[in-house]
Structure 1
């Protein structure tokens, strides 16, 4: 397998430590980093919080390295929240964020969701660009965990809409 070949798949239990480390290193790299807290408990139990709840969580590997990840967490029958989109700093600006986002949108449609909601900090300009070019609309701004954030939402195209 080529070092640059990307393997995109659903989270497995053996990914747990790599997911945690990617979350912390990617967050620190963009300046969104604080003491560990309950707001990160979902990453200690990805299988239950995301997959067993009716959402999903995907990881992208390049070689043996976890390069990117993201999850869908059900809010209600129609809305999934996009959470924990992270790309390893060494693999940024290669389209991995867009690939994860596209995969999660496809999975959300398959799971029957009509909307995806998300938030990102105002300092994460790269993330804002990805979401806005993918059709996400800014709905509001506010504060979460001490950070200024932007709330986005997107209506998903169902297969029968195409």
Structure 2
């Protein structure tokens, strides 16, 4: 797989079934599988939850196969939450996670967000490594949907802007 084989683009409704399948496949591969329920409702309405709300949702394809995805959900005018970062298990360890993260960060900055926050489970050591090497700072721990999680954040604002 060369870097040019991967196409990144905004989610389109025709991706909905593949997004759901990738979410399930990637979650199960790392041992994270809560019962289907309201915590996954965002994946049934990506256009409204992510895009129409002022955020974004990006998919990555190699040929016709959806291989990675992730969303930016606005929290407020300055903060977006990174959600649903997934890489197909068959395509992991090839840099796709880092590339989709970079794509989402670029879109967050273009949309005017100054911070990205996220959470990941304590059992997802690979995800923790990805976020920490990309400059995300752990800001605490908690429990979400029955899983122990670590909360992270990263600032994109120029810290010198406050001193005008």
* TM-score bracket for the superposition, by shorter chain length: over 0.9
Partner of 1:99: 99
- Paired with 1:156 and 1:29, the residues of 2 have a C-alpha distance of 31
- Paired with 2:44 and 2:144, the residues of 1 have a C-alpha distance of 20
Deviations 1:9-31 (A, max 9, x none): 00001000000000000000000
Map 1:120-135 onto structure 2 (within 5 A): 120-135=120-135
Deviations 1:129-148 (A, max 9, x none): 00000000000000000000
Map 1:1-162 onto structure 2 (within 5 A): 5-157=5-157
Deviations 1:29-49 (A, max 9, x none): 000012101000000010110
- Paired with 1:112 and 1:62, the residues of 2 have a C-alpha distance of 29
- Paired with 1:135 and 1:35, the residues of 2 have a C-alpha distance of 32
Tell me if the contact between 2:34 and 2:145 (Cα under 8 Å) persists in the aligned partners: no
- Paired with 1:157 and 1:12, the residues of 2 have a C-alpha distance of 30
- Paired with 1:7 and 1:90, the residues of 2 have a C-alpha distance of 17
Secondary structure of 2:16's counterpart equals helix
Aligned length: 158
1:157 deviates by 4.7
Q: Provide TM-score, normalisation by structure 1.
A: 0.94
